[in-house]
């Protein structure tokens, strides 16, 4: 099991932002999470909010075509459809998410906007219309990279992710013929501003999915969780993460006194070895991250003020 970890333990931490580019993302692409952390810290310094920091950082990852979120999201099996999920949460009890949203550049910004309403989740056409009504322009996230990923795996035989070819053909509900392809994973950010913890996730979803599939990202306690002791953001095989309510359970371990590094170790041992998983954790005294199959991630602490 490969674990790329780093931990920072101090008696009292200045503000922190930690970002990941998705489980099984190329660790050599760490410049993406580094830039996202810098973007988040800049937003935090300007506005003093962990929530604004994680949204800004996650938007930076959405705009990086190398990662499966926003621009760069995975095409579905029909070779045309892209449906995205995003969410944000704070230790003050705020949560909002969008699911199966289409044709927006930054789904996490739409989720952030939803915090200003009585709702916690909007899906599909409702999420799309909410985005338009709130000034989010129409945007096609399809990239040559997404098209090439689909092409490269078009000859997959027998099994496609968790489906057998026969099962998938029987359940297929797209208008166009079946194509086999592979999926990828969620990007995310966690932050501490000295008072509040926050986390955010965004995902382009899994290529091997039916129309309307929703993963762990927009489910509080599954893909992410923030409370008074810290914040968690996971990535990997969404169905397994959702079924295990992994983020909340990882947060509970933090609440019991485990360090961020210990929480990462604990989380990576909770699911079967065949399950792809990664996680980042932040608390008042430090941060850590790790993944089973490598992951581009980075944590950055704000410079202490004199």
Q: With contact defined as beta carbons under 8 Å apart, do 186 and 203 qualify?
A: yes
Of 58, 81, 90, 186, which is the active-site residue? 186
Output DSSP code: residue 28.
Answer: G
Give the pairing of strands 95-101 and 121-123: parallel
Task: Indicate if 186 belongs to the active site.
Answer: yes
Query: Helix 246-255 and helix 260-268: axis angle, to 10°?
Result: 140
Mark 156-191 as b/e (b = at least 16 C-beta within 10 Å): eeeebbebeeeebeeebeeeeeebbbebbbbbbbbb
Give the 3-state secondary structure of residue 130. helix
Using the structure block, give the residue that is written with the tokens 């501003």: 193
**Catalytic sites, residue numbers:** 186
């Amino acid at each position: 099991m490969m674990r790329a970890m780093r931990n920072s333990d101090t008696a009292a931490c200045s503000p922190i932002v930690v970002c990941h580019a998705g489980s099984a993302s190329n660790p050599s692409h760490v410049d993406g999470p580094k830039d996202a952390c810098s973007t988040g810290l800049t937003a935090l310094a300007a506005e003093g909010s962990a929530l604004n920091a994680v949204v800004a950082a996650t938007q930076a990852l959405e705009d990086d075509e190398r990662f499966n979120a926003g621009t760069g999201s995975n095409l579905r099996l029909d070779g045309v459809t892209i449906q995205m999920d995003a969410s944000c949460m704070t230790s003050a009890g705020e949560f909002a998410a969008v699911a199966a949203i289409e044709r927006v550049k930054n789904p996490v910004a739409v989720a952030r906007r939803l915090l200003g309403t009585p709702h916690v989740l909007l899906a599909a056409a409702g999420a799309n219309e909410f985005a338009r009504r709130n000034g989010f322009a129409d945007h096609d996230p399809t990239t040559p990279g997404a098209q090439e990923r689909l092409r490269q795996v078009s000859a997959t035989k027998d099994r496609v992710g968790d489906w057998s070819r026969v099962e998938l053909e029987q359940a297929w509900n797209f208008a166009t013929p079946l194509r086999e392809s592979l999926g990828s994973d969620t990007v995310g950010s966690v932050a501490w501003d000295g008072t509040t913890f926050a986390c955010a996730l965004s995902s382009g979803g899994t290529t091997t999915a039916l129309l309307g599939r929703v993963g762990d990202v927009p489910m509080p306690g599954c893909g992410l969780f923030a409370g008074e002791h810290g914040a968690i953001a996971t990535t990997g095989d969404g169905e397994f993460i959702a079924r295990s309510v992994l983020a909340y359970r990882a947060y509970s371990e933090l609440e019991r006194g485990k360090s961020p590094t210990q929480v990462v170790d604990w989380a990576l041992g909770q699911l079967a070895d065949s399950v792809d998983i990664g996680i980042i954790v932040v608390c008042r005294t430090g941060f850590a991250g790790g993944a089973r199959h490598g992951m581009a991630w980075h944590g950055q602490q704000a410079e202490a003020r004199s």
